[in-house]
Structure 1
Amino acid sequence: MTKWHPDASALSRPVYLSLADQVQRAIAQGQLAVGDQLPTHRQLADELGISVQTVSRAYEELIRRGLISGETGRGTFIRAVQTEVDPPYIPQRTDEVIDLSILKPVCEPLHVEAMRGALVELAASLPPAVVLSFRPNTLFARHRATAVSWLRHCGVETGAANVTLTNGATAGMTIALMAAAPPGSTVVTEEVGHHTLLPLASYLGIKLRGVAIDEDGIRPDALDAACRDGTAKALFVMPNPINATATHMGEDRRREIARLAQRHNLSIVENDPLGPLLSERRPPLAALAPERTLYVTSFTKTVMPGLRTGYLVVPDRLLAAVTNRHLVTNWIATPIVAEIATRWVESGFAMEMVEWQRKALHRRHALAAEILKGIPHRSHAEGLHLWLPLGEGRPEATFVSHARHQGVALAPGSAFAIGPGTRPDALRVSIGSTTEAELHAGLRVIVNLLNSDPEPVLLAM
């Protein structure tokens, strides 16, 4: 058992977080080492004069932070610091789990049949350049021209020379950030944002600064304040309801954000995997500030998960930077996948699939609204998920764990927090990742858990 003990006189409300913070500081200062055993919940509660439930919540928070682990029959121990970030979704789906943790469009057998048909057609009419060319400019001339027509559906007007084909939105945002923000620079973004942004920034040597949000997205006053010291070089933003909190930024707010980016000379990386899926199209930042915006979109969230290709629209001043960074990270988008996407755009089939997806999502959201009636949450009828705040007294980690024990996997809101001070205590619930029957059953589990007594909160100091 460790000789270190927390200071009862230094505890402040909420006590469980104050206690968790003391343990974290002790680890950082070397007072607690990997393998040290912490007192039992009862022992620590008696020592500090607080409730056992409060100690339990503190330990749950430390588990969420990856600092301790509990071993059945042995106790609670300081664990090795985790250097890699866990994804918000479960790594492998099994038949016993209703997976509402991973963000996917609605998929049915027709998607598989469509891809099979495309591959048969491609086998019969494969352009030699698709398998023989090394030169992106030569190979993708037709594809870029087709991309221009697709991007118009997204509200983006551009020329073929400003379009880079990518292997999906993740590749696009990586290239865009590398071009817009050199190592050591600061990128500002929503305080509840993209779950891959934190690890990506660390790999690229970029500093992230989370900016406060409200029901309309990133707050202009907070963005302005975050940029006043002059260190911010770029803004990464997701104004459409693919963002974790399912927020759909209004047009006035978009114009204000564009003006602030111009005032502070920020490059903008606008990540928009939904592309043309939203029937109510608000102008993208790429249309409001085209001279500084790198616009990212793809087909995986709107047409088919396996169609891993997309477009990155680049302003003239960053074309050379994007081209060079694309060459060293991907060299070229996968030609066969890009060829299928181009054919589907040219034939109109890609837009047919977008319209099919839109209708399927409307049905799913209507089902969710009926089941969650009276429970506060945010959603968009054409988004792939909903955002469900848990409220006071319901620790996120505990709720996610209880749901998992009942066969439902959920994405914790903390996985999308940018910065240590952000505590969403919410769930991101995927709408399209499973069948309608499983979605119904999974949402019923959530409702039943919400209607049960919450975990006991602080009973004593």
Structure 2
Amino acid sequence: MGTNWAPDLASTGKSKYKALADNIRNAVAEGLLPSGEKLPPVRELAYQLSVTPGTVARAYSILTEEGVLQAGVGRGTFVAEIQARTDPAHAWPQMLNLRSPQLPDVGQSQLLRDALRETADTVVSEDLLSYPSRAMDLPLRRALRRWMADLPIGTFTAEDMVLTHGAQSAISLVMQTVLRGRDPVVAVENLTYPGFRRAAELCRARVVGIDCDDEGPRVDHLEQMVRDHGVQLFCTSSEVSNPTVRFTTDRRRREIAAMAQRLGLHVLDDDCYALGTHRAESYHSLVPEFGWYVSSLSKTLTPALRIGYVVAPRDRVKDLVRTTAFSHFGMSRPLTELALNFMSDPRLLSVAARGRARINELVRMTVNHLGRYDVTWNEDVPFLWLQLPKGWRGPIFVRAAEEQNVILKGAEEFTLRDARTPHAVRIAVNGLVDPACYEAGIVRLRNLLDNPREEITV
């Protein structure tokens, strides 16, 4: 740097990264670090100050989110221009990740800390030295059953539930339980959550795609695939389709359920993303002999616990329990006790409500900026589906957004290899960043949509 500024971290009494952030912030305010001044690389400044690179990186990250600093990929970190420090549209982090939904922290972290302390004080030594058992996690299954009391899943008890390490693990375990033969086949929608395909690959299963219309998966196409390819399991998300936000109508669900009952087709219903009131019954309710309900705490409370669960058909619970035991013996007692203490906290309902309200606000903010385009959304779903306007191709738009430091998922990540890929992107809500930073990223996406590059216009 071409200045005489040198940070002093010795006598502040704060964490070193906070002290460094304060030093830089004050130096900018006093003019010692003028607009456009390039700061030293992370490792260089860390060496000068005898701190870890992580300390410097964390301070830079805080100030970038505040808009005090700006960072460009491959260019370094600079003091932001005065306008950028006062205009929220420019106050955004180095890279805004909108690939996967990120929940805002509205109190969950404090609940988890309190639950950790309670768990440490209450778990007995005997349980810390024992293999897990299904009896050990029964209290947590009962707590989750109460949490699910208002969901239209049909009749079930905690005994019909099996705990898993997240919903993705649940999907794999259901496939391992259901699929049979040398060449098992799984059906998914042509545009759907890629985790279904990945789980099928782990099970050495073929995947076939199902066409959809305005009401959901086409029942005639699904039945044809069952008859022609011997499909044993259909994986879907009837309440919130990922990535399109579409839901399957009640009439279509009943048609698929009737066909599944007639042909003996198992249906896995992944219900991770719905934050609000459900609009129709799950397949576990409509076809209880073949309906598997899968969900988790990851998209509503926290992904850190990795708590997923399956509500299985009653006569297949033992089969799923056996699959789980063969896979990993079950959930560890400290983990289930931690989750139980977390779920039993009387503050949990208000925390969940605040989280939902924050997601609602961010979704509405996104629609306010992008509503002139073909965007599908629901305020209770933490992502939006954007059909790109004429002149933009999906992969090119994703690359252009990344050049603006906004990371998205293109439609090709959700499409089967032999299916037609629409020119569209999924925009996931990120509640972990400052709302001004999030809005700045959405504004940059809007500017891209408003101004397609000449070389890609048609």
Common fold by TM > 0.5 = yes
8 Å CA contact retained: 2:134, 2:330: no
- 2:126 counterpart of 1:132: no
The Cα RMSD (Å) is: 2.2
Residue 455 of structure 1 deviates from its aligned partner by 5.5
* 3-state SS, counterpart of residue 310 of structure 2: strand
- Matches of 1:154 and 1:455, distance apart in 2: 50
**Alignment-mate amino acid for residue 119 of structure 1:** L
1:311 to 1:122, Cα distance in 2 relative to 1, 3 A = same
Letter in 1 for 2:208: R
The equivalences for 1:250-399 within 5 A come to: 250-274=249-273, 277-399=275-397
> Match of 1:437, as an amino acid?
A
146, 150, 156: which one aligns with 1:153: 150
Alpha-carbon distance in 2 for matches of 1:173, 1:107: 27
Go from structure 1 to structure 2 and tell me whether the alpha carbon gap of 1:342 and 1:153 turns closer, same or farther (over 3 Å shift): farther
- Specify which of 409, 412, 416 is matched with residue 410 of structure 2: 412
Structure 2 stretches lacking a partner, 5+ long: 1-91
Query: CA-to-partner distance for each residue in 1:139-198, whole Å, 9 max, x for gaps?
Result: 122222333222323323312221111111111111011112235211111111112222
Q: CA deviation at 1:431?
A: 1.2
Question: Counterpart of 1:17?
Answer: none
For 1:85-234, list aligned pairs within 5 A.
95-108=93-106, 110-128=107-125, 130-156=127-153, 157-182=155-180, 184-229=183-228, 231-234=230-233
Cα offset, 1:295, TM superposition: 1.0
- Sequence identity of aligned pairs in percent? 23
Further displaced range: 400-409 or 155-164: 155-164
Q: Distance in 2 between matches of 1:380 and 1:334?
A: 36
Distance of 2:456 and 2:95 partners within structure 1? 29
Deviation at residue 299 of structure 1 after TM alignment: 0.5
The C-alpha deviation readout for 1:63-92, integer Å capped at 9, x for no partner, is xxxxxxxxxxxxxxxxxxxxxxxxxxxxxx
Q: Which amino acid aligns with 1:194?
A: Y
Asked if the contact 1:185–1:233 (Cα under 8 Å) also holds between the matched residues in 2, the reply is yes
Q: Is the 8 A contact 1:194 1:244 kept in 2?
A: yes
**Contact 1:209 1:419 (8 Å CA) reproduced:** no
Structure 2 CA distance for partners of 1:129 and 1:391, relative to 1, 3 Å: farther
Deviation at 1:364, TM superposition (A): 1.0
CA distance in 1, matches of 2:258, 2:176: 23
Higher gyration radius (CA) = 2
The secondary structure found in structure 2 opposite 1:377 is strand
Whether the 8 Å contact between 2:185 and 2:229 is mirrored in structure 1 is no
State whether residues 104 and 305 of structure 1, in contact with CA within 8 Å, keep that contact through their aligned partners in structure 2: no
CA distance in 2, matches of 1:283, 1:349: 29
Query: May I ask how many residue pairs the two structures share in their alignment?
Result: 364
Shift in Å, 1:300: 1.0
283 and 432 in structure 1: CA distance in 2 versus 1, 3 angstrom threshold = farther
Secondary structure in 2 aligned to 1:279?
A: coil
Aligned to 1:71: none
Amino acid at match of 1:97: M
Alpha-carbon distance, 1:428 to partner: 0.8
Gaps of 5+ in 1: 1-93
State the alpha-carbon separation in 2 of the partners of residues 357 and 217 from structure 1: 29
Judged with a 3 Å threshold, the aligned counterparts in structure 2 of structure 1 residues 198 and 453 are, in CA distance, closer, same or farther, namely same
User: What letter is aligned with 2:120?
Assistant: A
